[in-house]
Structure 1
Amino acid sequence: MYRVLIVDDEPEIRLGLRLKADWDSLHMSVVAEAANGIEALEQLAAEAIDLVITDMNMPVMNGVSFLESCHEQFPTLRIIVITGYEDFHYARAAVRNQARDYLLKPVSQDELMEALRKVAQELDEERTFLNEQETVRWRLSQYYKEMKEHFILHLVKDEIRSAQTERERSELFQLDKWGGHSVRFLTAGLRERKAGVKPLSDAERTPDKLRLPFEMLCREFAETQPQRVSRLQSQPQSQPQSQPTPQSQTSDSGLVLAQMKPQVFLDPNYPGLIHFIAAASDEDATASFIEALRACIAEHLAFEPAIAMGQPVTGFAQWKEGYMSSLVAWNLLESDVGITSKDYAEGRPVLTDEAAKIMQRQLACGELDAFKQAIHKELADVFFESQVQFVKLILQLYLLLDSLAHAAGVPLDTGEQLWVRPDMVLALDTVEKAEGFLVQLGEKIQRKTKANAEDPEQSMIQAAMLFIDNNYMYDLNLTMLAERFNYNSSYFSELFKAKVGTTFIQYVTEVRMAHAMRLLLDTPLSLWDIAELTGFSNASYFSSKFKRLYGVTPSDFRANRSLHSSSSARTNPDLGSGSSNG
């Protein structure tokens, strides 16, 4: 709502103006009144006003002086002048000080509404322009890019269980057009040179030393690629059709023509690899992209990268499988096992989510014998089925353990990093060999967990806190988190409070508030955007919660930097943490 101030020394005139206009239809609201120019200037200094409707003949400060002060102190303020004096110098003063209209008393309802409509249209156009500018700045900001990659990573890890959250976030990060179409994941990385292979230069370089320039080069290459127009099949009719954007149009054949640039993201579990999402329908464009990227990396880093392409998948629900197939394809790119993305896609799912959760809990609780038995059963069940399924299972189990190692802060030695050693997959050609390798990793993770915690439950709570820290922007609730770690929700709630010293809701709120404060200070985002990005249900709840915690509104906190240190001290100071369920 646009905020209006009425200035007139006669109360009945002010009341008449209130009653003559249909303020709601114009998205306006009369929020204040003043009897003279001095009172009006005080009101303008105290609160944000979009439009002033003022008389010219007033005591204390006449209309001309008031207009001049407004022009000097509030240059963007809209003003409508109303007076009973048909005096040219009043009209000239109004125009000189950028008044939007000049009305004579008595003002008719039609005249007032017409003047208000003009101002409302101006304000709408200005707000749209400013919002577009803020959106552009936001999308260019590093924080936006980090949040977008974070969302992509959650999609490929299949950690988002809310269809509404998925829809809202995909629209926010301009990924919604990818959700209903066929895509391929590409994985690129540098590998150690094979024995006898001559380097492209004499420089003593290794993939590890080139990790950062490799990442920067890949990002810049993807960003500077020309837009390619890809023909994408329309979404199923059962789903709502999105409106074409200026960059897309719908053809007569029902195909959507969209300009699709590859999306780029990193997975911290696999340092040294960078991943791309490309439209699967344009295979020629994807092949050209891969070859151009390979040539660019070889030219600048004197290393020829290994680039693999996963199987085509359609819809966010299949992104996890598509991403996994890309990792597998990269791992086996130069091996002799002969498994292709097509082979990987065939057959039943090897490792179920239920089995993965059980193994995760067994390690968290120190149940190594049970963990070993579970590993053996999974491997033995698949070994005689096919080599493809056996290799697929080994890699899935490794990726699970690698993720747990990363979460527990367990560094893996070069000899344990299966994802950079495709020859190791071939060497694990029996149940006993594969079991020994995987159980050894599990024992290493468990020893680290045990060293960091006096009891298994403490380790589980630390993992739960880390999950909250990494997922604060999504819809979190106690039942969901308890199920994730295979605990009864009531017991989990009591355990969390005993170990952390605060309730689940309080902890999540603190984490969300820490990130909200960062956004208030570092971005021009509105309170609605900040509430959405930090996991609060709406801006009103976020504002009231913020004021209850810190004694000031989010807007006041943003405006008064002296409040920052005292407020920050009362919430989680670690801005790498998470948040609560509003």
Structure 2
Amino acid sequence: MYKILVVDDEPRASMGIKSFLLASDLNIAAVETALNGFEAIDYLRMETFDLLITDIQMSRMSGIELMETVCMEQPGLPVIVISAHEKFDFAKRSISLGAKEYLVKPVERDDLLNAVARVLQEKEEIGRKTLELSRRQREEEKEADEAAGRNELLLELVTEGNLSGKDYEDLVARLGEEAKDRYFGVMSIRLDLSRAGFSRREIALRDRKLLKYAAINILGESLAEWNGVVINGFGNELIAVIQLCDQELSGQRVGAKPQSHLIGQMIHLNLKQYLNVDATVGMSSLHPNLLMLPKLMEEAGKAAEWSGLHPGNRAACYEDIKPQAALNIVDWAAKVDEYVQGLKTGLDRPLPVETKPILRALEELGDSEELFNSYFGMLAYRLYGLMLEFGPASGISLQRFDPDVYFRQTAGVRRLALLDGYIQEAAERVRLSVKEREQTILARITGYIRENFRNPALKIQNIADEVHFSPAYLSYLFKRQARKNIWDYVTELRIEEAKQLLATTDKKRYEVAYEVGYESPEHFGRMFKRYAGVSPAEYRKEGQGGAG
């Protein structure tokens, strides 16, 4: 059943169209009429319609302006334009704003109904196609989820460094893996996706994802002999987990380190041969305990980084480069910057924030006091700079967060123990600062609305321009902070003002309507009853609002 909104400043015209539509066999459940664009916008913000039929030339707000607002707020709503003018400019502008039909007055009944039928049928067809597409996507996603289930469990084992014994047993049981007599290794494969193919052509960003999936397939086949599982990592990284049994490491084939070298070189050569993609491969040591996978992942990452810095060594084992794997100052600075950026972009996530990876990296430097102090200072002052960037919250000074003050008379392990709390407080300070800033902006928004809600021409763009936001972000921010739609707030102010006028003055209904921002007394009456539960006359008669 369809619901249609008809907008025309000639009541006879809109009521005639309404009668035609309701008497047709088009499965139309309801037709609402509006006398002008502002009244129509109120309807569209309060209710859901399947079609808008509007005149072009109307007082106060033209049909073109109404369509512009619809394009911004409800871009999927189909529109039919009815105009007394055959001017090409009107038709061209209407079509550019998405009008499905442009009819010239006087409109024959059959022409109107045929146009409405076409538009509704097109809308229904789009809806069916959307539902079918959604159904197919859900089926494909379900199949992909089932196929990726094992990889997700393995990824959890690889990336989670603090699994309990019960979690470990549960994940291993769900994987169906028999860990006995098997050694596990992790590989980090860093792909150069900028150029590939036998022509070594430059690969566009949109095609790199496909190239990465092709690489996953090649690696899956290459590592099948070692029961390899390939996981899609971040950016241009692929992660592979291999499994070697005792026999493969006992001398019947080759030793552990030569075996890893062999696999790494094979991966590099296969990617080069089939995709002409350059790659660096980092291989961890081997270990029989699945709980060591997070540690092996770190080893593979360090080996891949080392390999990337040494172009002559496309595949490197962690055991070979362990002496050179200590974190250098450039890597640490990048790690600190990445961590702080993560704090800034994760302000909506619940506290406490994750600190284990960054603290673990510092803890591994414990043998070198000079290096530890240098790296510790870089992190602490970067966090302090983050707090200064967002400013103090609730007017509280940030002086006590100066690392020289906060960590005074502490060193080594004691200083590291304080760092977790420092990070948590820094995150909380930044969150409070952002919240206070948003509340200040909300006060500006509500203040502007309170000054201008009586203006019937008030638009969301006017409010957005006041705070220099886009209309979409303005709506998002207002709803998040105020817990209500911005137009609900505008209407509530208008209705509350109307209640006050009805209770304390003798002004007629049309005078109250005009004063609070409604051009049509009838529309004001409908809106008032929707919010107050009674008509304006009933409200005044019953003495609501505190007036006897």
TM-score class normalised by the smaller sequence: 0.3 to 0.5
Please give the TM-score of this superposition, normalised by the length of structure 1.
Answer: 0.31
Please give the TM-score of this superposition, normalised by the length of structure 2.
Answer: 0.33
The structure with more radius of gyration: 2
Higher RCO structure, 1 or 2 (CA under 8 Å, sep 6+): 1
* Structure whose residues are more often helix by fraction: 2
